[in-house]
Structures are given as structure tokens and as C-alpha cells.
Amino acid sequence: MSDEAIPGIDLSRPSIARTYDYLIGGKDNYAVDREFGDEFIVKLPGAVQMAIDNRQALVRAIGDIAGTTGIRQFIDFGSGLPTADNVHQVAERHAPGTRVVYVDNDPIVLAHGRALLAENEHTVVIQADLRRPRAIREDPTLLRLIDFDRPVGVILSAVLHHLNDDEDPYGVMRFWREAVPSGSYFFISHFRSRRDPESAKLEGLLQGSLGRGRWRTDEEISALFEGLDILEPGIRPAAEWRPALEHRSSLTIWQQLLVVGLAVKP
């Protein structure tokens, strides 16, 4: 992508969405994102594999929800830039006509998402701030597709760890848990702190470059699921969560620093 200035897009700081795009081999990123991504790769040799593990776990989760439940509507928070196997693509393979709303605060996600989804009447993207859940809940574009009287699939893939403690990620979870009816599903993936030097170093890297990023302990991540029933196999490293093939080798220390869980509201 050209590094020419684009209205509404700050090229002085890396973007979470564009850096993730770079790590998984996308082309919708700028020099500032690639520089940060390269720094991440050097300091976290497993960064690319973690991004792949996260995407694959998300694909499996969406397939399970769409294929085995009656849920036909999803909200994907912090969706990032369009890539292969987006939520709507996976869901529609199992249940055509499934409605999906993507939510992200990066203007480039809005621009690319609208272009990609221009002819898809069941899928939209809105630019909004996860920290302001009520505004998202009342967004007319979202309400055009999402019926809050029916169960919803709520996707929080690799996004809650970008909320610092003072931004109340637990309050965000509480809002959405109360906003959706019983039978709704929640998928969360999150950076995991094992109180080890690697976790501390990486948390410092995110805070230094993005001003945000919080590795949380197993207990803190479990607390995000408060009020929900966590489904098997529990909260596990992404590569070990309902894998398509049985793992025959140990996970790297880096792969153990990203966990996922799927839960249902009773």
C-alpha cells in the first residue's frame, strides 16, 4: 500500500489492525505498521504463528457456532482489516444468510470493509469505539441487522487485551452480557501473562508503541467470562482449542501466551 497521507488516517503511529494485517501477510499496511511489526517479530519470534493460531481458532469457533446452534447473527468487535475466512464468510458456509456486523475504530477498516461488503446485504462494518458500548448498541446500522431479542454470537478476538485496566474491559463484557439474551455465545481470545519475563517484555513493547496492551493472568482472563458458562475444552492456548488435527508436538512458549475460550449465556 502507498504510504501517501490519507485523510483521517494517522501515519505517525502504528495501527493494531494494520500491524495484524502485516503479520498474517496482508497488504493493507504502511511503513509505520511494518516497522512495528518487524520489531514485534524480533522480540516475539512466534508473533506470526500466534496470529495464525488466533485466526484458525476463530474460524473453528464460528464454524461450531453457525454449524451447531441456531445463531444466525454475529457482532465482531475489533474486527480488523478484511482477510481470508472472515466471520461472515465462515458463517455463511454453514448457514447462508447469517448477518454479521463488524466493529472497529480504525478508519481504514471502515473504508476497506465498506468496499468489500458493498453488495452483501447481510454484512456491514461500522467505525466505533469498543469502550463506548452503549453507542454501539444504539447504532442504527447495527440495529438494522442485529435483533437483540434473539441470541447473538459476540466475537472479541484479540481485542480486550488492548483495553487497559482503567478502560474497564470487565465493564465492557458486563454490558454485552446483559445486552444479549440467553443462548448467546461469546468468543474471546486474549494475550496471557504467566508472570514471566516474556509476557512483561511484550506488554512493555505494546505500551511503548501503542500506549495500550495488557497481558492478563489466567485468573483475570477467566473473570472476563463471569456470568457465562465456559464450554469445553475451557480456556486453552489457541492452537490447542478444538484443533482440527491432534497436536503431536509441544507448543512453543510464545504459543502459550495466547488463549481462547467460548462461552454461552445461560
9 within a domain of the structure (yes/no) = no
pLDDT in tens, 68-88: 999 999 999 988 766 668 899
Give the model's pLDDT for residue 2: 45
260 within a domain of the structure (yes/no) = yes
37 within a domain of the structure (yes/no) = yes
Give the model's pLDDT for residue 106: 80
CA angle 82, 27, 206 (to 5 degrees): 80
Predicted TM-score (pTM) of this structure: 0.86
- As a whole number, mean pLDDT of residues 11-31 equals 77
pLDDT in tens, 24-65: 777 777 888 888 888 777 777 777 888 889 999 999 999 999
Give the model's pLDDT for residue 246: 67
Give the model's pLDDT for residue 28: 75
Contact status, residue 79 vs residue 125, Cβ threshold 8 Å = yes
What's the grid cell of residue 87?
Answer: 466471520
- pLDDT bucket at 248, cuts 50 / 70 / 90: low
What is 31-79 written as a DSSP string? HHHHHHHHHHHHH-TTHHHHHHHHHHHHHHHHHHHHHHS---EEEEET-
The yes-or-no verdict on residue 5 having pLDDT over 70 is no
- As a whole number, mean pLDDT of residues 221-232 equals 98
Please count the structural domains in the chain: 1
Which one of 18-27, 160-169, 199-208, 247-256 scores highest in mean pLDDT?
160-169
Q: Higher model confidence: residue 136 or residue 28?
A: 136
Mean pLDDT of the chain: 87
- pLDDT bucket at 1, cuts 50 / 70 / 90: very low
- As a whole number, mean pLDDT of residues 220-235 equals 98
161 within a domain of the structure (yes/no) = yes
* Residue % of the chain over a pLDDT of 90: 54
The yes-or-no verdict on residue 91 having pLDDT over 90 is yes
Give the model's pLDDT for residue 245: 74
Give the model's pLDDT for residue 82: 66
The two most distant CA atoms of the chain are separated, in Å, by 50
d(CA 149, CA 218): 32
- pLDDT bucket at 210, cuts 50 / 70 / 90: low
Contact status, residue 233 vs residue 262, Cβ threshold 8 Å = no
Give the model's pLDDT for residue 256: 87
Q: Which domain holds residue 74?
A: 16-264
7 within a domain of the structure (yes/no) = no
State the CATH number of the domain containing residue 163: 3.40.50.150
6 within a domain of the structure (yes/no) = no
